[in-house]
Amino acid sequence: MTEKNLADLTATEAAHLIHEGALKSQALVEACIGRIREREDDVRAWQYFDPDVALEQARHADERFANGEHLGLLHGLPVGIKDIIATADMPTEDGTPANKGRQPDADAACVRALREAGAVIMGKTVTTELATRFPGKTRNPHNLEHTPGGSSSGSAAAVACGMVPLALGTQTGGSVTRPASFCGIYGLKPTLGMISRQGVTMQSHTLDTVGVYGRSTQDLALIGDALSIPDPSDPVSYSRAIGGLAATVADRREKPAPRFAFVRTPAWDKADSAAQKSIIDFVARHSHAITEAPDPVIFETIIDAHRCVQHAENAHHFADIEARARDLLSPTLREILDLGRTIPAKDYLDALALRDMAYRELTALLDRYDALVCLSACGAPPRGLESTGNPIFNGMWTLLGVPTVTLPLLTADGLPLGIQIIGKRREEHRLLRNAAWLDRAARV
Amino acid sequence: MTEKNLADLTATEAAHLIHEGALKSQALVEACIGRIREREDDVRAWQYFDPDVALEQARHADERFANGEHLGLLHGLPVGIKDIIATADMPTEDGTPANKGRQPDADAACVRALREAGAVIMGKTVTTELATRFPGKTRNPHNLEHTPGGSSSGSAAAVACGMVPLALGTQTGGSVTRPASFCGIYGLKPTLGMISRQGVTMQSHTLDTVGVYGRSTQDLALIGDALSIPDPSDPVSYSRAIGGLAATVADRREKPAPRFAFVRTPAWDKADSAAQKSIIDFVARHSHAITEAPDPVIFETIIDAHRCVQHAENAHHFADIEARARDLLSPTLREILDLGRTIPAKDYLDALALRDMAYRELTALLDRYDALVCLSACGAPPRGLESTGNPIFNGMWTLLGVPTVTLPLLTADGLPLGIQIIGKRREEHRLLRNAAWLDRAARV
């Protein structure tokens, strides 16, 4: 097996080899470091990366294996961490000069969970400014002239080009799903509450959700299991670990084929014609499993509702950094904060009430289908690095707090495009099983 | 026993006699009806009262007793229901001409719980307009020229003068505690979530709390046990029934005496000198149990934070009734809604964040004491019916979502004044035990 091959393993394949003793963490991490050396000048996925810190963790993992110690789910696997997620041994700069050199005292809860599962914390990946709109330096590994999407730009690009098999992102609008779509990888944005947000720089407590990237649905399930740990310090945290995601996805026993509803969503008109054609063709090819369904009527105003909640909460959560360093914030973000401060509480509360009504309509639709499918983005990654693209196909699901998986099954203009699978809140098992089914069906 | 005596029994005494077969529900309800006939022209506690509907329920309760059926905690006991709480067999007019003749299809969850516990739903008690500031017709039974307080005016007045032993109120600012203080009765405003709000006209989902009135701490515990039923339809509802409140209060086994902290609170300067003197004397008389403690520093801004949340949520929740019938709303309420609509979402979110910080400071104080005590109101019930008095001693506890008990242990200017006992969220057992201890100590 060459170094190149190792860096391109799925996390699940690598975990299997490590647990069998057929692969050392150090070899895997060295392969990933090799890939970073090869591609980082072009892709620019990393905000902080020190090969020695990564290798030290890998050697420690190999020693523990040699000592016969209990192995966690992610033993020896390198994971990239979006740079708004606190790490005790690496800076966490939030993509803003206002937090240059910030060094947290402690790991975020999700990083702690990764370490407990045996993972190697590979480094910190580039985020847009405070995980909002203003882009970081990362380029799309499929075409360097194009955006990788954002805000989890570095995490998605790193997984896409073999720098790490797994990475953490976060989503407030479309920051997990869109970069996965643009970079051609698998992404899971779980239900609000499945993964603790303790230690993650907050911009919107109603929306902020930690998500994961991998190279297969099985990978998403594997890291999902490691990260589902109840945390009373995050008020939305599940009260119990869910577990069993990987076993659910691995279970190939014959079951009735799931029934999917294709929804255009109120964002449809913002999709370009290549993207529209791509998903319509996909639906037609899979007409045995996918039926088009009309959008719930209430969805008409859901995009505005999402924006209202995000901007109002931005103004609240970023008040301190703005007071301290407004001139270090981008004009884009300053404009959002100025706008956010003008939103009346009544509009904000109306938007939250609309979310609750829309979720009731969504569950009625999901009582009739196993999952929904829609585009993951408006099209292929746009050319240019001055914007990370439009999150309009994602914000509604973030507002609704429902879990989504994006699968790299479409293309548009010769570049990757994802298809989004949506389920009910807290039904990650069912969603991942259905997503895995569709992924296999599409690859036959 | 004369009719008069029966109407003045505590709920606990009456329940005991009924369960023993020594008292029929019909006799008890007839005594209460007698009291209503005697005093209603003066006190005006009832918005809807039909003696036949009450007597029919009482006779049914007596039949079930005669048939040896299982008896609930409140078997045969009459309970008054504030007229913003839905009843399937009586109108629910919310104290506003805009809802004149409104007849709900179903009982509110708390009314259903009362019926399941065997209670007789005696009638609907007067509320201020939509449980906000504009007064109803009720007068204080201790002095008809004075306000009974609000918004649960009728419920407090009815319990105070023997029309019912128990009643339901609700609190958004000080609407359970203040009327109890003014009318000289016992009141419990539990933790947000102990009693479901399903079917209760909502003005503020962050603040609205169903509470209870009785004639002793044991009465509060008795009806509290009947009403603590988990309800998934109210997102703040406890996930389990708490139960055992009455047993906790009844348990007189020797325990270490509780230690209370007297806090003046940021409302202190609004209390009149008679009220200030009354509680300072009380604290001095009970110096073996009560020590003065400084207010948590953060409390300084908590009164404003409460007002901000209430008015912003009022504008949201009353938007429909305002759109339909603004000219039927009082100028007072219209002014609140006009103000509420101008509150920025950022201020609203800042207020909620302040609540969370203040609760952390409060729990630090409650780690050192068993409970806090403070005034229940600014003074004796004010003369005149054009205002229901100032809720400034109560709103902070409502915002914090903590349980409070008010005990009728003080007087000012020859009229009743309550003392408020405050505990940690979800610690109703501990709070009621401590309140009962202080009540007994004060009556020795």
Provide the strand spans (E) within A86-208.
120-125, 166-171, 186-189
Query: Is residue A13 domain-shared with residue A68, that is, in the same domain?
Result: yes
Task: Give which of A240, A316, A320 to mutate to test B binding, by max B Cβ within 10 Å.
Answer: A316
Query: Is residue B225 domain-shared with residue B114, that is, in the same domain?
Result: yes
**Closest CB to A349 among B312, B346, B350:** B312
pLDDT the model gives residue A134: 97
Structure tokens at A217: 């649905």
| pLDDT (tens digit per residue) in B224-267 | 999 999 999 999 999 999 999 999 999 988 889 999 999 999 99
Number of domains in chain A: 2
Nearest residue in chain B measured CA to CA from A337: B346
Verify whether the Cβ–Cβ distance A343 to B346 is below 8 Å. yes
Q: How far is B317 from chain A (nearest CA, A)?
A: 9
Query: Is residue A187 domain-shared with residue A264, that is, in the same domain?
Result: no
Secondary structure element (H or E) that encloses residue A41, with its range: helix A25-43
Measured CA to CA, the distance from residue B170 to residue B175 in angstroms comes to 6
Tell me if B127 is assigned to some domain.
yes
Q: A248 forms bridges with which residues in the sheet?
A: none
Measured CA to CA, the distance from residue A110 to residue A226 in angstroms comes to 9
| pLDDT (tens digit per residue) in B279-299 | 999 999 999 999 999 998 888
Annotated active-site residue A151? The verdict is yes
Q: How far is B91 from chain A (nearest CA, A)?
A: 27
Q: How far is B341 from chain A (nearest CA, A)?
A: 6
Q: If DSSP states are collapsed to H, E and C, what string results for chain B?
A: CCHHHHHCCCHHHHHHHHHHCCCCHHHHHHHHHHHHHHHHHHHCCEEECCHHHHHHHHHHHHHHHHCCCCCCCCCCCEEEEECCECECCECCCCCCHHHCCCCCCCCCHHHHHHHHCCCEEEEEECCCHHHCCCCCCCCCCCCCCECCCCCCHHHHHHHHCCCCCEEEEEECCCCCHHHHHHHCCEEEECCCCCCCCCCECCCCCCCCEEEEEECCHHHHHHHHHHHCCCCCCCCCCCCCCCCCHHHHHHCCCCCCCCCEEECCCCCHHHCCHHHHHHHHHHHHHCCCCEEECCCCHHHHHHHHHHHHHHHHHHHHHCHHHHHHHHHHCCHHHHHHHHHHHCCEHHHHHHHHHHHHHHHHHHHHHHCCCCEEEEECCCCCCCEECCCCCCCCCCHHHHHHCCCEEEEEEEEECCEEEEEEEECCCCCHHHHHHHHHHHHHHHHC
**Closest CB to B344 among A345, A349, A350:** A345
Tell me if B101 is assigned to some domain.
yes
Nearest residue in chain A measured CA to CA from B338: A346
Domain end position, chosen among A185, A219, A250? A250
Query: Is residue B343 domain-shared with residue B407, that is, in the same domain?
Result: yes
CA angle A425, B195, B235 (to 5 degrees): 15
| pLDDT (tens digit per residue) in B166-212 | 999 999 999 999 999 999 999 999 999 999 999 999 999 999 999 99
Query: Is residue B291 domain-shared with residue B398, that is, in the same domain?
Result: yes
Residues of chain A with pLDDT under 50: 1, 3
On average, the pLDDT of chain B sits at 97
pLDDT the model gives residue A37: 98
Tell me if B329 is assigned to some domain.
yes
Of the pLDDT bands very low, low, confident and very high (cuts 50, 70, 90), residue B3 is: very low
Provide the strand spans (E) within A116-271.
120-125, 166-171, 186-189, 209-214, 260-262
Domain end position, chosen among B222, B250, B278? B250
Provide the 10 A C-beta neighbour count for residue B174: 34
Structure tokens at B293: 């403690």
Q: Alpha carbon of A23 to those of A9, A34, A61, A215, A272: distances in Å? A: 11, 17, 12, 19, 44
Verify whether the Cβ–Cβ distance B350 to A312 is below 8 Å. no
Query: Is residue B135 domain-shared with residue B234, that is, in the same domain?
Result: yes
| pLDDT (tens digit per residue) in B327-366 | 999 999 999 999 999 999 999 999 999 999 999 999 999 9
Tell me if B153 is assigned to some domain.
yes
Boundaries of domain holding B305: 260-425
| pLDDT (tens digit per residue) in A46-62 | 999 999 999 999 999 99
Measured CA to CA, the distance from residue B104 to residue A361 in angstroms comes to 24
pLDDT the model gives residue A254: 85
Query: Is residue B167 domain-shared with residue B55, that is, in the same domain?
Result: yes
pLDDT the model gives residue A444: 83
Query: Is residue B239 domain-shared with residue B301, that is, in the same domain?
Result: no
pLDDT the model gives residue B230: 96
Query: Taking the model in full, what pTM does it have?
Result: 0.94
Task: Give which of B349, B352, B354, B359 to mutate to test A binding, by max A Cβ within 10 Å.
Answer: B349
Measured CA to CA, the distance from residue A118 to residue A75 in angstroms comes to 4
Instruction: Answer yes or no: are the C-beta atoms of B264 and B303 closer than 8 Å.
Output: no
Tell me if B443 is assigned to some domain.
no
Verify whether the Cβ–Cβ distance B312 to A341 is below 8 Å. no
Query: Is residue B211 domain-shared with residue B307, that is, in the same domain?
Result: no
Catalytic positions of B are: 82, 151, 175
pLDDT the model gives residue B254: 85
Nearest residue in chain B measured CA to CA from A315: B346
Query: Is residue A198 domain-shared with residue A269, that is, in the same domain?
Result: no
As a whole number, mean pLDDT of residues B143-150 equals 98
Tell me if A282 is assigned to some domain.
yes
Query: Is residue B132 domain-shared with residue B232, that is, in the same domain?
Result: yes
Task: Give which of A192, A349, A360 to mutate to test B binding, by max B Cβ within 10 Å.
Answer: A349
User: One of A24, A82, A124, A424 is an active-site residue; which one?
Assistant: A82
B292 Cβ contact list (under 8 Å, min separation 6): B261, B262, B263, B264, B283
Tell me if B118 is assigned to some domain.
yes
Query: Is residue A246 domain-shared with residue A350, that is, in the same domain?
Result: no
Give the CATH number, domain containing residue B358.
3.90.1300.10
Domain end position, chosen among A232, A250, A268? A250
| pLDDT (tens digit per residue) in B106-131 | 999 999 999 999 999 999 999 999 99
Q: For residue A294, give the DSSP letter.
A: P
Contacts of B340 in chain A (CB under 8 A): 345-346
Tell me if A255 is assigned to some domain.
no
Instruction: Answer yes or no: are the C-beta atoms of A116 and A126 closer than 8 Å.
Output: no
Of the pLDDT bands very low, low, confident and very high (cuts 50, 70, 90), residue B8 is: very high
